[in-house]
Amino acid sequence: MSEERNGEDIYGDKHKEANEPIFSGIPTFLKLPEADRDELDEEDVDVGILGAPLDTATTIRPGTRYGPRAVRAASTVPSPPYEHFNIETGVDPFDTFSVADTGDAAVSPGDTRQSQLNIEDAVYEISEQATPIVIGGDHSISYPDIKGWAEANGYEDIGLIHFDCHADTGEDGLTGFKYDHGAWVKRVYDEGIMAGENYTLIGPRGFWPGPDTYEDMRDAGMKWYTAMEVGGMDLDKIVEDAVERATDGTDAVWVSFDVDVMEPAYCPGTGEPEPGGLIPREAIYMVREVVKALDPDDFGFDVVEVAPQYDVSDTSSYNGGITSGFANRLIIEVMGSMALAEKGLESGDPIKPEEPLGPTETTETPADD
């Protein structure tokens, strides 16, 4: 993807500058440079951020059209945009990748299908030149995301790792529209570019879809780990299985993250909250480990279903809220793990205390008689 370099090489004098307050300027993702989608190669961009502000394929609470704006707002934290050293993993993605915000795909609230085709075109354009990271929008955008990405790169067989409260494998979605946010996995499967054996769902719970759909998924070779199973299992085992399945005989892997997989106490800003979800440490850890095990040159990611108006800490999206802040964090974690994978490393170089963690062992001297 890119040669060995550091953030200062990539971004110049701005590397360590927080050059303006978070409430000033145009809120691109992390206040990174804007780039036209047809110029990413020319600008030497490795990762292209795209907003897909579509929510007319949702079926319960609308509002994810504001997701890209809210996630961008939440990303403008008081930190230099070109320097994000993770104190836990010891890696800064901006020492490895040039990242740019390519704006939003064109959507028309009155024409859902055309909007999805526009998203597909935008992802195709990015994917010809860079790795796409897409901010939704409702989950219906993942079908055009994956289709555009796969066609741009000539992928014939892809793996899919899907974090979600719902399977989204309905034949006609939730209300009879075959392109709604509850049917996109089935649309990808029907394209013939994904076999059931290369699909893993992490975190489903609740009451939809019903048993007939899950029986069809089982017959297709699909696999899932419910939220309760995630809570009771070794996360590394889940990650290992999902990665093995996704990479078995495939050309590339897409990771799709629906924020309703999370316990709504942590991510309330979504259209279909369901109690009993993942906690942030589980989700962040699994995303880190999954992406670290994948080839960053044959990879794509989207995070969807952020609906900021339902977020208890977000009344304006001027600086994001709990849920949009979590989505922002996931994107930075994804880029950090991509950087580790690019360098062939299991971990970076986090700064640790001189003394070992935990209480200092002491040898007690017996008291004199």
Is 180 annotated as contributing to ligand binding? Answer: no
Instruction: Look at the block and give the residue holding tokens 């990650």.
Output: 239
Residue 41 known to bind ligand? no
Q: Is 166 flagged in the annotation as binding? A: yes
Angle at which helices 322-343 and 67-75 cross, to 10°? 70
Annotated binding residue at 162? Answer: no
CB 184 within 8 A of CB 139: yes
Within a 13 Å sphere around the CA of 284, how many CA atoms are in the beta-carbon half? 17
Residue 46 known to bind ligand: no
CA gap 342, 99 in Å, rounded = 15
Tell me if 168 sits within 8 A of 162, measured CB to CB. yes
H or E segment at 256? strand 252-258
Question: Would you say 258 is a known binding-site residue?
Answer: yes
Instruction: Give which of 101, 158, 180 is closest to 134, Cα–Cα.
Output: 101
Q: CB within 8 A of 10, min separation 6: which ones?
A: 82, 94, 95, 97, 98
Q: How far is CA 367 from CA 58, 145, 360, in A?
A: 73, 71, 21
* Binding residue positions: 139, 164, 166, 168, 258, 260
* Binding residue positions for Mn(2+): 139, 164, 166, 168, 258, 260
